[in-house]
Amino acid sequence: MKRTSIEKWMKKTIAGIMTAALVLAGTAVFPTTVKAENADPEIKYEDRTTEFNTWKGQETKTAPVLDGYFFGGWYTDELGNNQLTEETAKTYEGKAYAKFVPSYVLSVKAQLSSGVSEGDGETASIRILTGLDSLKYQYVGVQISLGNGSELQNSVKTKVYDKVEIGTGENKASVTAEHTFGTAAHYYGVWKIGNISDANDANIIYVRPYWETMDGTIVYGLAKYVHVEDGYNQYISVPINMMSGAAAAAGITTMEFANDKLDFVDVEPGRMFDDTMEHSEGANTVKIVGNGATVGSYKSNETLFANVRFKAKTGVSLYDTSTSEYTRTIFPQFKALEQDFSDWNENSVDAGVWDIQY
């Protein structure tokens, strides 16, 4: 089957009002021209020709790696003007540049259906959002596990949106992907999880986004936990992912946060280690320790070390809501100050814990 980009399916639609029904509504102009990839200074292009030549021979394509970024496809120039596809990459012999997109783009945000409150006895719906920097991908998808179980549901989309609308009537407002994720994000991938019973408000929903580049490489983003209660409690959920792919049996990392803007709420153990996770809170840091439970066993397909939740201090708002177009006022930064991970033989390993922008 001939592959094409999701630009072909881009609809004149805005992801709609966040009500219990999660209706899609509104209009968006289909772009008559696509801006050059290099117009965004946060996008990087690196000469990875040697790596590309190895990549071409792989049956399952391995994405190039750069700390704090995700692979966005192969290009023949450092300005991002000529993208390689699955077909053209097979015979291409020149210089190859890997495009790298800031990690905050391929991350997860969630919206709760309106009117939901603690103990209301009603079912709820959650809208899962991830970002894209451009339309030059084959599709965008998510892995979802309700209750954080081992069985993952995969769902892919070839239709994306450039805005979401929140609220109803006079209180309706739109939010762009740029203000939800960061300046390099320009589109949303959107999924709905519906009919969540009141008894499951605090239960974990595991989500990990991914996209397939035009050359056929599947790239997994930052995994995260979301919960219904995050919405009505106004929690900010920040994941710690181990992105190097190294086999680790135990580890410790320290996250720094802006304690003038945020209050620490709790730490939830991720999916990397089975054993009990411990943490200690400092003035503006959270130190987290995790251990594997089965000697010699590694979870090579997992990345989520821990999920840390915060709440904005009284008087602090992430968005300016004074107009019908919500704009970000702050993008909280969470720094990884300490990383000490080892395998079962107590050899040090590079876990690849990155700084995070929420």
Gyration radius (Cα) of the chain, Å: 20
Q: How would residue 14 be classed by pLDDT, with cut points 50, 70 and 90?
A: very low
Domain 234-358 has CATH 2.60.40.680: yes
Task: Express each pLDDT in 312-342 by its tens digit.
Answer: 999 999 999 888 899 999 999 999 998 999 9
Task: Specify the pLDDT at position 168.
Answer: 73
pTM, entire model? 0.90
Query: Torsion angle, CA of 222/225/230/234, rounded to 10 degrees?
Result: -30
Choice between 343 and 29, residue whose per-residue pLDDT is larger:
343
Average pLDDT in the 303-315 region? 96
Q: What is the mean pLDDT of residues 266-293?
A: 92
pLDDT reading at 22 higher than 50: no
* Structure-block tokens of residue 169: 């009537």
Decide if pLDDT at 46 tops 80: yes
With pLDDT > 90 as the criterion, what percentage of the chain qualifies? 74
pLDDT at res. 145: 95
- Indicate whether 28 pLDDT > 70: no
d(CA 173, CA 168): 8
DSSP structure string for 177-212: HHHHT-TT--EEEEEEEEEE-GGGTTS-EEEEEEEE
CA separation for the pair 43, 54 (Å, rounded): 23
Residue 11 pLDDT more than 70? Answer: no
Q: By mean pLDDT, which of 210-214, 224-228, 232-236, 275-279 is the weakest? A: 275-279
Domain coordinates of the chain in residue numbers?
1-228, 234-358
pLDDT over 80 at 144, yes or no? yes
Is residue 24 predicted with pLDDT exceeding 50?
A: no
